Amino acid sequence: MSSADLLSAGRVASACLAACASALVYLVVKGYHARRTFYRLRQQGMPMPPWNPILGHLLAVPPVMKTLPEDTQQPDAFEALCKAHEKDNMDSVIYLDMWPFADPMMVVCSPVLAVQACQEHDLPKPPILHAFFNPLAGGDNLFTMNGPEWKRSRALFNSGFSAGYVLQQTAHIVDEAEVYVEILREHARRGDMFSLDDVTCWYTMDIIGAVTLDSRLQSQTWHNPLATAMRRQIRWHVLDNEWNLLVRWNPARPFVQWYNNWQMDKYISAELDKRYAEWKQDSSTASSRSIIHLALAGYMAQQQDRPLPARLDPAFKRWATIQIRLFLFAGHDSTSSTICYCFYLLQSHPEALAKLRAEHDAVFGTDLSATAQTLRSNPHLLNQLPYTTAVIKESLRLFPPASAMRGGLPGIFLADAHGNRYPTEGTNMWILHSAVQRNPRYWRDPLAFRPERWLVAPGHPLYPPKGGWRPFEHGPRNCLGQTLAMLDVKVTLVLVVREFEVRAVYDEWDALNAAKVKGRVKTVNGERAYQTQMGGAHPADGFPARVRVRRER
C-alpha cells in the first residue's frame, strides 16, 4: 500500500474516531442532563417510581410489562405505572426517566391537568413527534407545526371541515359504505373468519380519499398505489411492539419506506397537476372544498393578479403533498378503529344494540334497501340520532385511537386541586387519553360501557367530568376532522347494524394460533380486543370476526 493510501486510510480512521467520540460525548451530556432533571424533580417530591441515578426508571417497566400482553399499546403500560405510583395527595400524574429511549416524560392521566396543558396554556407540539409523523406525512405537517405556520395552514383548511360542508359529503361516504356493506355480505355468504380491522381500514381510506382528493380511490376492491403505499408505510414504520431485533432493525426498511414515499408523492403530484389544469380551464371548480382544492385555493390567492404559471411551484407541491398525506393517514386510521370498537362493544351489550337498531328504524324506517338513498337525499336525518352519537362517544371513551403530546416550557406549571404545582420545563407531556377517560377519580364506573353518560343532565352521577373526554382533544389544536369522523361512523352503523350480526371470534383465533398465545397475557382490563399500536391504536390481532345476515327485522 502506498504512503498516499496509508495517509488516506488514516484520515478516514481519524474521522470515524472523531465521529464516535462526538456521539459518545453527546450521549453522556444528554444523559447527564436527563438524570439531573429527575434528581431535582425527586428532590421536589414529584410523583415517580423508584429512581436509579444510573438507570433512571428503566427497571420500573419490566414488572409492569409482565402483567400486560406483549403487543399492547405503550399507554397501557404507562397508565399502569401511573396507577401504581401516583400519590393520594396529588392528581394522576407521574414523571418517567426513560433515557436513552426517550426524553424526560411527564405522564398525565388527569383531565384537570390535561385541560391546562392543551387548552389554558396551549403548550407546543414537541420535536419528538416528527420521528413518528414524518415517515407517514413526508415532512413537517399540520399536526407537528407550531406558531404562525400552523395558524396559516389551519385557517386554510378549516372551511373543508365545517359541519355544514361535511354533511354535504354524506353521499360520498354512502358510496363507499355501500361497497363496504357488499364486502361484509360476501363474508357472510362464505361464513369465513376475517380481519375486520383490515377490511375497515381500506373502507375508511376510500372515504378520506374522496374527501381529500375529490376522487374515488376504490382501494376496497382494486389495487390503488396511493392507498397501498400508505398502508404498507404504516406496517413498516410503527414498531413500538416489535421485540424481534432482526425485524426492528431490518436493513430493508429504509428502502421500502423510500419506495412508499415515492409512490405516494408521485400519485399526489399527478392529482395536483390534474386539478390545477382543470382550475385554469374552468374556475368553477374552485367551489369545491376538498383538501386538494383548498390547498390550490391558497396557492391561487398568492398569485394575486399575476398570470398563472404553466406549472405549480415545486415548493408548494411539496407542502401540499405533505398535508394531503397527513389527512389520508389521520383520516382513515383512527376512524377505522372506532368503527371496529363500536361493533365489539355492541356485540357484548345486546341491550344497547337493540336500542340502536330501534332508533335507526324510527328515523329511517324498516326498509333497509331504502336507507342508503334516504341518507343521500336527506343527510340531516343523521342529526336525529342521539343514542347512536352516545354509543360512538362511549366507544371512543373506552378505546380512544390516540393520545396527545405537548412540550414543556420554562415557568409553566400544571396545578391540581390539592395545591400541588408540577413543572413542565424540560419534559414531554404525554396526555394518555385512555387513562384520562377511564380515571376512577373522575368517572363513575369507568370501565363500564354506558352510552347513557352522554344523555343525562349535569349533576347526574354518570355525567362526564369537565375535560374528561378527549379523543379529538380540545382547544386550538383539536382534531380538524372530528365532525367528519363522527359522520363516517354514524353512516356505517346505520347501514350495517340492522342488516348484520358482527361478532368478534377471538376464541377461534386463539385456538388456531395456540402456540402464539399459550401461557401469555392476552387481555387488558378484561378485554381481549385490547389496543395495539398499528399507526393509531387498533384492536389486537386485527379483530378476527365473523359476519352473518340477520333474519330478524
d(CA 334, CA 91): 29
- Largest distance between two CA atoms of the chain: 91
d(CA 531, CA 225): 28
Beta strands in 205-316 (DSSP E): none
d(CA 9, CA 530): 55
Residue 232 CB contacts under 8 Å (≥ 6 apart), including other chains: 256, 260
Phi-psi region of 39 (alpha: psi -120 to 50; beta: other; left: phi over 0): alpha
Sheet containing 500-504: give its strands across. 194-195, 544-549, 500-504
Let me know: does 474 contact 120? Beta carbons within 8 Å.
no
Closest Cα partner for 66 from 537, 519, 552, 541? 519
Long-range pairs for 520-523: beta carbons < 8 A, 24 or more residues apart? 520/69, 520/70, 521/66, 521/67, 521/68, 521/69, 521/70, 522/69, 523/69
C-alpha cell at 373: 338513498
Q: Are strands 531-534 and 421-423 parallel, antiparallel or unpaired?
A: unpaired
Say if residue 16 carries a ligand binding annotation.
no
Let me know: does 260 contact 236? Beta carbons within 8 Å.
yes
d(CA 518, CA 250): 27
How many C-alpha atoms does 155 have within 13 Å on its Cβ side? 7
C-alpha cell at 6: 496509508
Q: Which DSSP letter does residue 445 get?
A: S
| Phi and psi torsions of 379, nearest 5° | -65, -20
Q: Omega of the bond prior to 100 within 30 degrees of 0, cis?
A: yes
Return binding residues: 479
Which segments are annotated as binding site for heme? 479
